[in-house]
Structure 1
Amino acid sequence: MAEIPPPPPALVTVPAREAPALRLFVFPHAGSGAFPYRALAAGLPPWVELHAVQLPGREAMFTATPYRSMLPLTSALVSVLAPKLDLPFVFLGHSFGGHVAFAVARALRARGSAVPRALVVSGSRAPHLPLGRNPLHDLPRPRLIDELRRYGGTPEAVLSNDELMDLFLPPLRADLTIYETNTFGPEAPLALPIVALGGNRDHATRTEQIEPWREHTSAAFTSRFFEGGHFYLFEQSKAAFTEALREMIEGLAGSGI
């Protein structure tokens, strides 16, 4: 029996603003839904509306088929985002989400649509670089769980619960398949600022894999590294990351957005 195609992704808005001046679209890391990123809204200026991308296969869409290749995912996201691009907007993507955000920004440019005022990537290797490690997406279940434990970011109560892992692993493998096998063709750099962030003890995405994001912009490039590992933005440096994000967005406002 043929697999049911993935449905369109959704957007989780936190909170809905009456008159936002800017929208922040957040692209989660592999296996994640929108929920972990909702807390970012509390640290944003009141005129910013946060939209977290909800991919099929997790949270409220846990029964849906996940995407396993970048092109259809990108095309679906462009369609979902299109009605919300009437205001200035910023993309933020963590790890796998950084590559998705970059792919969508390129696709918007190719269509002649509005593009982000800035692209913020976190814990994400520059898209032209090789993976730099052994792939995880096709590891046997016990080895993949061991790797997740080593990366951090997933509670032990989840990793040791077979029923929860039955739900978590399929979308995680799908996202990792995209992140680990997709290749970006050569294109002109994006004419928008790129901000590349990371953890200073991240063994999954090292400093030398993040700095080359500068090659993908013809505008300003900034990099910054926080205390912590791959999930620094949820752990040791949560407050510092949120403050840096707020300052960056306020800087855009100061320059007229």
Structure 2
Amino acid sequence: MMMSGQPKIEERRWLKRFGRREDVAGIRLLCFHHAGGNAAMYRQWPQLMPAGIEPIAVQLPGRTDRFREPAYDRMEPLLDDLVEVIKPLLDRPFACYGISMGARLAWGLAHTLRERAMPQPRQLFLAANAAPSTDIGGGNEWEGLKGGLEGYLRTMGGTPEEVLAEPELLSALLPTLRADLYVLGTHEFRPASPLDIPIHAFAGTEDASATPERMSGWRTETSVRFDLDLLPSGHFFDAASERQVVAAIARDLGQVITPHG
């Protein structure tokens, strides 16, 4: 029997708090990882963020502690289940940050919440994922690359060399990555109207996939404020660029980062 005050098992699987601060934070920040990634990429964000913001990383099935759960390969059922998971969080203002696949997931979540007349995020922060208006046909771009999915993984960067060099680790990663990329490649949602919440986008100047030009297309997905920051990075941000992203999020949400976080 679950004791009162403990998070539900479902919530523990999906939502990772790497530094609990719900009693002091005025706004929650839902953080979505990239394709093939996991929530651990946000492990340091509670230390980087001011106390008024509580980062909550979303862990999708098919990886780390959810390795035995099948990964989603379509966006719609993923959004349906995600809405149910975050319902208890909607009692407080929140925003969303997503990088690569996570950016498209955050955008889809905002539209789903709007369609269901549920609370929407205060703002979307979207990184390293080209705007929907710039999509080139359907399908998955990796299918035409030499080396297929593994070639795509090496081309995009961001995967530790020890994983790429170890066949067993690589073979364990590829099915989940493939499912994640199908989530993106089969999602052809075109909303009838843009969102009425601000969008702040982040583009790496050396990103050959989500170029600054393609990232600028996100301005058509909002009827209000749009900002685009260019970072001296590739598709995956280095530590310095990530700190710039965190600082921009804090400023937009009305928080100030002090030397002690």
Contact residue 196 and residue 213 of structure 1 kept, 8 A: yes
Encode CA deviations 1:87-139: one digit per residue, 9 max, x unaligned. Answer: 11000010111111111100101111110000010001112322479834546
Which one of the candidate residues 90, 93, 109 is aligned to 2:95? 90
1:165 — aligned with what?
A: 170
Amino acid aligned to 2:65: A
In the superposition, the TM-score normalised over structure 2's length comes to 0.87
1:247 matched to 2:254: no
- The amino acid across from 2:216 in the alignment is E
Query: In structure 2, the residue corresponding to 1:237 is in which secondary structure?
Result: helix
Amino acid at match of 2:210: T
Pairs aligned (count): 245
Residue 209 (structure 2) aligns with: 204
Match of 2:123 among 113, 118, 126: 118
The DSSP-based 3-state class of the residue aligned with 1:41 is helix
Deviates more, 1:32-41 or 1:235-244: 235-244
The answer for the alignment partner of 1:180 in structure 2 is: 185
Q: Is the 8 A contact 2:29 2:94 kept in 1?
A: yes
Question: Quick check: 1:12 aligned with 2:13?
Answer: no
Contact 2:130 2:215 in 1 (8 A): yes
Instruction: Label 1:25 to 1:141 Cα distance change in 2 as closer, same or farther (>3 A).
Output: farther
1:216-235 alignment, distance < 5 Å: 216-232=221-237, 234-235=238-239
CA distance in 1, matches of 2:234, 2:153: 13
Distance 2:170 2:230 in 1: 31
The alpha-carbon deviation at position 20 of structure 1 amounts to 2.1
Distance in 1 (alpha carbons) for counterparts of 2:48 and 2:136: 33
**Paired residue secondary structure (2:207):** coil
Which residue is equivalent to 1:255? none
Q: What TM-score does the superposition give when structure 1 sets the normalisation length? A: 0.88
SS in structure 2 at match of 1:191: coil
After superposition, the Cα gap between the structure-2 partners of 1:241 and 1:59, relative to the gap in structure 1 and judged at 3 Å, is: same
- Matched residue, 1:71: 76
Shift of 1:192: 0.4
Partners of 1:142 and 1:160 in 2: CA distance: 15
Q: CA RMSD in A?
A: 2.2
